[in-house]
Structure 1
Amino acid sequence: MLEKLRPIFTDPHVRGYRIWHDVVMGFIFFSCAALVLESVQSYQDAYAVWFDWAEWISVAFFTVDAAANIAFAPNPWRYLFSFWGFIDLISVLPSYLMLFNLTAVRSTKVIRLLRVARALRVLKLARAAADQAEGAERHETNPLAANLKIYCIVFFATLMLSSTAMYFVEGHLYDADVMQAEQQAINAATPAGQTPATYMPTDPLTGDPIPEDKRFYTSIPAAMWWSITTMTTTGYGDMFPVTVGGRMVAAVTMLLGLILFAILLNLINKTMLILLFGEKHGIE
């Protein structure tokens, strides 16, 4: 029975392999959508149970996928410490750590880090991109269509990772839970009869205050708008990082946007050569 399942996880040329990895991609998008919506406080408060169900359904599926990949690998231990094994591990480990509620992960900051770390499972799309590239090289599919799919996969992964990084690096400084906890600490430390000061979030590296009108990245969807405008243009101008960490994320996002733009121009150039001048795209 297990040997019959082996091609589904090891042979890119069988139909079962392609179907399974299409399902994997579906769960990745489903999981990322749940993570994005969960970062909106109003949605989190209203649909917390549904988000929990969505997460654990995804984790159960990714666990089966990871276990199968390890079991059917020629060398399971080598696979476990390979790039693909690392991706399989990070796709499930953060959720299991939160489930176990270990002492080391009970702090609010660590829990938040584990939550946003789930966005790294978008890297599992790298295998889908690799499969598309392999198919194009073997002329099993239209190279232009395959390259466009690869571009969309890379663009989505970049968008997801950059917006999540910005939300965690800068947005968590004025997250509602953090603001409430810090304000309570100030209130508790203020002597009786005195009016407690209002908590002001600051850049952890420079100590510069972050005024209310500069607190842009309150959720991943908000950060996604910034990420899209940063990757596709010089920036819309309505949102910008004000911390050192946020500016570092922005710098990397800009550079990735330039690379993606160059790739897109190359795809458009190849398409125009084929459509307007009849140049063949290599399919025999």
Structure 2
Amino acid sequence: MNNFILKEKIRNIIDSNDSSLGRAFAYGIQFLIILSVITFSIETLPNLTIQSKQILHLIELFCVIVFTIEYLARIYIADKKIKFVFSFFGLIDLFAILPFYLSFGVDLRSLRLLRMFRLFRLLKLVRYNKALRVFTQAMIAAKEQIILFMVITLILIYFSAVGIYYFENEAQPQHFSSVFESLWWSIVTLTTVGYGDVYPITVGGRIFTFFILLIGLGIVAIPTGIISSALTKSVDSKD
């Protein structure tokens, strides 16, 4: 019985925003997530003093200790512990702390790459931010439309790469030597980025590019409409 009461108390703190302790815990975790990401960025600055590195290490150590306690507490209160460990948030919580322990005291260059996964802490914000949860629900609700849009976009990218290849291959074999080489032009054109490093010089290629650019404007606008509509429905249903 005491074990059950303890679990409920911990659950009310780390899994509920209704109580003052729960809100304080959530805000505290959000602050530590942002703090850890800032320290991660500062660590990449050149010519840091030894004292600065020590301060950053202490901040990192404190954040990891808190995140580790939170992770273990979540496993403790979980009804299905294995399911939680392999769930989305469970893996995010694990990846947020694992690089510190794997690279702690180890000077192997290959393991330093694991520190990049500290950025997974940013994803922990989704757990505590209501607005992000609404956005996540909207994305889930619109996943079929988004998947369909991505499939159509990939098809259009391929067709535009094939088209520009036939128009520009003879005139610019160095840039459009194959359909695969033409995919770069296709991507930057359909997304309306247009770096200008590769561009058509034939009349047919320029006319073709004009129509591809028009299609690209629609490609940029469509997902915006899908997501905004899903967000509106998600907010209305919540209200």
TM class by shorter chain equals 0.5 to 0.7
Residues 236, 31 of structure 1: CA spacing in aligned structure 2 closer, same or farther, 3 A cutoff? farther
Question: Quick one: which of 26, 30, 47 aligns to 1:42?
Answer: 47
Alignment of 1:53-72 (within 5 A): 53-72=58-77
What SS is found at the alignment partner of 2:18? coil
One-letter code aligned to 2:116: V
Larger radius of gyration: 2
How many equivalent pairs are there?
Answer: 158
CA distance in 2, matches of 1:76, 1:262: 37
Q: Aligned pair in 2 of structure 1 residues 33, 44: CA closer, same or farther (>3 Å)?
A: farther
Name the structure 1 match of 2:14.
Answer: 9
Q: TM-score, normalised by structure 1?
A: 0.45
Name the amino acid aligned to 2:45. V
- The whole-number CA distance in structure 2 between the counterparts of 1:283 and 1:127 is 17
CA contact (8 A) 1:88 1:124 kept: yes
For residues 66 and 100 of structure 2, what CA distance do their matches in structure 1 show? Answer: 13
CA distance in structure 1 between the aligned counterparts of 2:193 and 2:222, rounded to whole angstroms: 12
Q: What is the one-letter code of the residue matched to 1:124? A: K
Q: Any unmatched runs of 5+ in structure 2?
A: 139-191, 197-218
Tell me by how many angstroms 1:128 deviates. Answer: 2.5
Tell me if structure 1 keeps the 8 A contact 2:17–2:26. Answer: no
Residue of structure 2 equivalent to 1:122: 122
The percentage of aligned residue pairs carrying the same residue is: 27
| Partner secondary structure for residue 13 of structure 2 | helix
After superposition, the Cα gap between the structure-2 partners of 1:282 and 1:32, relative to the gap in structure 1 and judged at 3 Å, is same
1:236, distance to aligned residue in structure 2 (A): 9.7
Structure 1: which 5+ residue stretches go unaligned? 135-145, 151-232, 238-257, 272-280
Deviation at 1:265, TM superposition (A): 11
**What is the CA-CA distance between 1:283 and the residue it aligns to?**
8.9
Instruction: Please list, as runs of the form range in 1=range in 2, the aligned pairs for 1:97-176 lying within 5 A after superposition.
Output: 97-101=102-106, 106-111=107-112, 113-129=113-129, 131-132=130-131
Query: Is 1:32 aligned to 2:33, yes or no?
Result: no
State the partner residue of 1:167: none
| 1:86-115 deviation line (CA, Å, top 9, x unaligned) | 0110111100111152xxxx431321x122
**Aligned residue type for 2:71:** A
Asked whether the 8 Å contact 2:10–2:73 carries over to 1, the reply is no
User: 2: distance between equivalents of 1:260 and 1:25?
Assistant: 32
Q: Is the 8 A contact 1:9 1:17 kept in 2?
A: yes
For 1:95 and 1:21, how far apart are their aligned partners in 2? 22
Greater share of residues in helix = 2
